[in-house]
Amino acid sequence: MNFHTFHIKVVKFGGSSLADAEHVKKVGDIIRADPTRVFVVPSAPGKRFSGDTKVTDMLYECYNVSAAGGDLAEVFSKIEERYNDIIRGLGIELDLTEEYTHIRWAIAHSAGRDYAASRGEYLNGLVLAAYLKYDFIDPARFVKFFDDGTFDSETTNTLLSEELKKHENGVIPGFYGSMPNGTIRTFSRGGSDVTGSIVARAAEADLYENWTDVSGFLMADPRIVDHPQGISFITYRELRELSYMGATVLHEDAIFPVRFAGIPINIRNTNAPEDPGTIILSHTDSYDPSSIITGIAGKKGFCVITIEKAMMNAEKGFGRKVLEAIEKENISFEHLPSGIDTMSVVLNRAELAGSRDRIINRICAMVEPDAVSVEEGLALIAVVGRGMVKSKGTAVRVFKAVADAGINIRMIDQGSSELNIIIGVDEADFEKAMRAIYAEFVS
């Protein structure tokens, strides 16, 4: 098989798409419906119903029990049951007894926390490979981390692309790889998304399909806005803005490998495969004047330090000193809206908590301001859309919608890329402001 003449899709399935045999059958149908779906990246079985436990969490539990000197037999047998149920439900000939014995032994003999967690994907990969009759490709051999635990993208890409060329198809478990000394290392939680992206890049895929339990991204959080519209197309940059503000469907790090390679991601719904989902891509020329806004997202839990000083704008190094005072506490700032004689720094309240007084004292010592104030209880809302560059009056519409809803705007920050407008409102007004903005642009 030659990568350059065939079309290839890499398909990643999340834990809820693989929670039981019934779901795995749907996954099989999806894969078989399109012969270009040649490389499959599974998560570990997730929750079958609300209140259920993900296999990954059960594996962490095994590790904890064993690290505390306990007997992991009971928790581990529940894990075995989960896989055995799936295997039985699929009606395949697969006996994982030896695998179970080995894994249980390894966890009990200090194989490590990441090793334990990774076995959820590993076992699910074996099941899926047997069911689909695809090759099983163990990422421990190809997905590599540096000694400091960070991901080694280039070595991985070289090793993995070489390997994939040897296979017509394959199942590559998500979430883990290995350290230079061979021990297993996982990405952070939800990391199978990252593996999918890495495999897509290595396979030079045309598309990275990420199958989950929602039909892509919505324009706003459905817990706040009633039945928000879906997003058909979104750029990587817009997605970064929205996910920074709390819109989560995809692991943040999953964007980088495919973005680098110019491969679009399509978020799809395993339970509604006919839905086209959301396509994430580098840029899109499609410009629809009726949809200036791509999405709205927001978060509570911010506070603002405002520093006032007459003639501040003429004072060299003023901003640097303020930021240095914050950096010294090892805190990162979120936004920096500034006026002529005022500068505000927006910070995450939880991060600031223990260092607040020290920061204020340091700012006072370093820049001798006329006044410094700290305001708590700020929520930020980001209105994001590539269409803003081309349309006039977007900011006015945002402000008017919020003002008409009787809400006071406490902060405004428009990115110079004109991709977003961020406003700060009282936490108590957060939901109302989100709904007002949504109604202005979407209804």
Q: Which of 125, 139, 173, 174 binds ligand ASP (CB under 6 A)?
A: 174
Check residue 43 for interaction with ligand ASP (CB under 6 A): yes
**Distance between the two ends of the chain, CA-based, in angstroms?**
49
CB of 175 to ligand ASP, least distance (A): 4
Nearest to 44 by CA among 217, 202, 176: 176
Check residue 83 for interaction with ligand ASP (CB under 6 A): no
| Contact window for ligand ASP (CB under 6 A) among 187-195, 224-232, 301-309, 327-335 | 187-195
Check residue 237 for interaction with ligand ASP (CB under 6 A): no
| Contact window for ligand ASP (CB under 6 A) among 2-10, 184-192, 294-302, 323-331 | 184-192
CB of 403 to ligand ASP, least distance (A): 42
Site residue total, ligand ASP (CB under 6 A): 13
| Contact window for ligand ASP (CB under 6 A) among 21-29, 72-80, 133-141, 190-198 | 190-198
Q: Rule CB under 6 A: which of 282-341 touch ligand ASP?
A: none
Q: Which of 40, 41, 44, 398 binds ligand ASP (CB under 6 A)?
A: 44
| Contact window for ligand ASP (CB under 6 A) among 186-194, 203-211, 264-272, 393-401 | 186-194
Q: Per-residue contact track with ligand ASP, 191 to 230, x per CB under 6 A? A: xxx-------------------------------------
CB of 48 to ligand ASP, least distance (A): 14
Q: Which of 102, 189, 283, 400 binds ligand ASP (CB under 6 A)?
A: 189
The closest residue (CB) to ligand ASP is 192
Check residue 45 for interaction with ligand ASP (CB under 6 A): no
CB of 13 to ligand ASP, least distance (A): 10
Instruction: Report the alpha-carbon distance of residue 356 to residue 349 in Å, rounded.
Output: 9
CB of 120 to ligand ASP, least distance (A): 5
Check residue 175 for interaction with ligand ASP (CB under 6 A): yes
| Contact window for ligand ASP (CB under 6 A) among 100-108, 145-153, 189-197, 291-299 | 189-197
* 3-state SS string for the chain: CCCCCCCCEEEEECHHHHCCHHHHHHHHHHHHCCCCEEEEEECCCCCCCCCCCCHHHHHHHHHHHHHCCCCCHHHHHHHHHHHHHHHHHHCCCCCCHHHHHHHHHHHHCCCCHHHHHHHHHHHHHHHHHHHHCCEECCHHHCCEECCCCCECHHHHHHHHHHHHCCCCCEECCCCEEECCCCCEEECCCCCHHHHHHHHHHHCCCCEEEEEECCCCCECCCCCCCCCCCECCEEEHHHHHHHHHCCCCCCCHHHHHHHHHHCCCEEEEECCCCCCCCEEEECCCCCCCCCCCCCEEEEEEEEEEEEEECCCHHHCCCHHHHHHHHHHCCCCCCCECCECCCEEEEEEEHHHHHHHHHHHHHHHHHHHCCCEEEEEEEEEEEEEECHHHHHCCCHHHHHHHHHHHCCCCEEEEEECCCCCEEEEEEEHHHHHHHHHHHHHHHHC
Closer residue to ligand ASP in complex, CB, 192/278: 192
Closer residue to ligand ASP in complex, CB, 14/385: 14
Residue 165, CB-side half-sphere exposure with 13 Å CA sphere: 11
CB of 190 to ligand ASP, least distance (A): 5
Closer residue to ligand ASP in complex, CB, 212/394: 212
* Dihedral sign from CA coordinates of 305, 308, 309, 314: positive
CB of 52 to ligand ASP, least distance (A): 13
* Contact set with ligand ASP (CB under 6 A): 15, 43-44, 54, 56, 120, 174-175, 189-193
